[in-house]
Structure 1
């Protein structure tokens, strides 16, 4: 072990500027589970609305989960879902005007959205042995990062 000190990056002198990050991730599910989501037949309720709410809450609390992440004012969060024959894609965009970026917030939002989907459909995803052979969370990544007004779309 190096014994190096652990500390937050000092952003005191950095100016607050517009920042935006978009992250995405994917959860593979059984076709029957996807159909149950579409038809509103999941016993725990409306999967996508609960996952959207969970993602927004996670974004706003990222600094409480990641030890060296700064608390920053979140000015906007959008959460979108795209369903295909293999699963659900979650896309989270976070905006702020702050001294540091929002990539970790966007990644946290996507991660929690996908975990929430898994939690809500796990009874439908289990096989006869109680395992999850088809359920996979994958491809969580930052799609885009914007810093400053000049880059704003």
Structure 2
């Protein structure tokens, strides 16, 4: 296992100095899902949820969250993101909504946390908007799917997330 980079030699939390790293294009993709009752999914799809358009609000929340990741995760660097996308796909088989986020930057550190944060907050927003009708919803399987760029190069999840 590699050394943990966010600890000082004495074991204290320490923000990594990335000033010596090359600026490269870095992309990260994350995904997750929220499982709900079939009727709850139908309500979300109808656009008649009391709090408004579930898909539009969750997409915006995910994008905003990615931009604020450094405010939420203590040792993350603030990044000048060049692209964030949040895609939501209804899945009647679950039933639920699949959430996938992609983050991109030209920088000295990766964007994995931004993609993961976007997925997490989009799922939480869906929960918040629909909890009045389905408190039993489950947020599941939030994971990094792939990342490119930087010294460590490309990485892809070797297997699909559990169904």
TM-score normalised by length of structure 2: 0.83
> What secondary structure is seen at the aligned counterpart in 1 of 2:102?
strand
> What secondary structure is seen at the aligned counterpart in 2 of 1:140?
strand
Q: Which aligned segments of 4 or more residues in structure 1 are displaced greater than 3 angstroms?
A: none
Matched, 1:98 2:107: yes
Structure with the bigger percentage of helix: 1
Tell me the CA shift for residue 4 of structure 1: 2.1
CA distance in 1, matches of 2:57, 2:47: 12
CA RMSD of aligned residues (A): 1.6
CA distance in 1, matches of 2:108, 2:117: 19
Q: Deviations over 1:102-147 (max 9, x none)?
A: 0000000000000000000001104xxxxx2xx1100000111011
> What secondary structure is seen at the aligned counterpart in 2 of 1:79?
strand
CA distance in 1, matches of 2:27, 2:130: 31
Higher normalized contact order (CA 8 Å, seq sep 6+, divided by chain length) = 1
CA distance in 1, matches of 2:43, 2:11: 51
Tell me the CA shift for residue 88 of structure 1: 0.3
Residues matched between the structures, number: 142
1:92-131 aligned at under 5 Å gives the runs 92-126=101-135
> What secondary structure is seen at the aligned counterpart in 2 of 1:124?
coil
CA distance in 2, matches of 1:51, 1:42: 13
Q: 1:89 aligns with which of 81, 98, 116?
A: 98
1:2-151 aligned at under 5 Å gives the runs 4-85=11-92, 86-126=95-135, 132=136, 135-147=137-149
Mind listing any 5+ residue stretches in structure 1 that lack a counterpart? 127-131
CA distance in 2, matches of 1:70, 1:40: 37
TM-score normalised by length of structure 1: 0.89
Mind listing any 5+ residue stretches in structure 2 that lack a counterpart? 1-9, 155-163
Q: Deviations over 1:71-104 (max 9, x none)?
A: 1110001110111121000000000000000000
